């Protein structure tokens, strides 16, 4: 029975170069969602290509391909909801967030209830949009 429940869970990809932060996301979201991880932008793009998630949480500052570049690349082929998170909000302007079609922007440290609320809201809204498109 557990496997059927896991299959039905929406998939959340969390992208951050800090394993501690990724573990926090798993703790916050893991009961409700299937959470999987990428430690950098390159790995994230490979995962997205192989197994598209229902929502992406991405850090702004990462070595290699940074968060905004990841979102720019993925927007070429998907409208998956994106939450961008940073300890340095000055790194991304509001104009850039709009241009990248980022659905929510949060500042670290993120309160668990705020992250869960944003994820729940965006997953539900994207599900409704997808159903209406059918």
Range 95-123 average pLDDT: 97
Residue 133: what pLDDT?
41
Going by pLDDT thresholds of 50, 70 and 90, the confidence category of residue 7 is: low
pLDDT of 111 > 90? The answer is yes
Q: Residue 71 and residue 68: Cα distance in Å, rounded?
A: 5
Range 6-35 average pLDDT: 93
Please give the angle made by the CA atoms of 55, 61 and 63, to the nearest 5 degrees: 105
Mean pLDDT in the chain?
90
Going by pLDDT thresholds of 50, 70 and 90, the confidence category of residue 3 is: low
Residue 89: what pLDDT?
85
The number of beta carbons lying within 10 Å of the beta carbon of residue 57 is: 29
**Omega within 30 of 0 (cis) for the link into 90:** no
Range 7-26 average pLDDT: 94
Residue 8: what pLDDT?
76
Residue 126: what pLDDT?
84
Range 95-101 average pLDDT: 96
Comparison of pLDDT for 80 and 130, the residue scoring more: 80
Is the pTM here over 0.85, yes or no? yes
How distant, in Å, are the alpha carbons of 43, 65, 111 from that of 94? 26, 20, 21
* 3-state percent breakdown (helix, strand, coil) of the chain, nearest 5: 50, 20, 30
CATH of 2-133, one of 3.30.1360.40, 3.40.50.300, 3.10.50.40, 3.40.50.2300: 3.40.50.2300
How distant, in Å, are the alpha carbons of 8, 39, 133 from that of 54? 12, 18, 16
Six token digits for residue 35: 């959470």
Comparison of pLDDT for 33 and 1, the residue scoring more: 33
42-54 pLDDT, tens digit per residue, is 999 999 999 999 9
Q: Please report, for the chain, the start and end positions of each structural domain, with discontinuous segments joined by +.
A: 2-133
């Amino acid at each position: 029975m557990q496997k059927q429940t896991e299959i039905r869970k929406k998939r959340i990809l969390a992208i951050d170069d800090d394993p501690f932060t990724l573990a926090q996301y798993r703790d916050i979201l893991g009961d409700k969602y299937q959470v999987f991880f990428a430690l950098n932008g390159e790995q994230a793009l490979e995962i997205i290509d192989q197994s598209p998630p229902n929502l992406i949480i991405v850090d702004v500052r990462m070595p290699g391909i940074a968060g905004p570049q990841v979102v720019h690349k993925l927007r070429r082929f998907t409208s998956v909801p994106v939450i961008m998170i940073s300890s340095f909000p000055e790194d991304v302007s509001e104009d850039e967030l709009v241009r990248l079609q980022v659905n929510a922007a949060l500042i670290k440290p993120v309160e668990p209830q705020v992250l869960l609320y944003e994820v729940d809201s965006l997953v539900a809204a994207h599900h409704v949009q997808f159903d209406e498109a059918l």
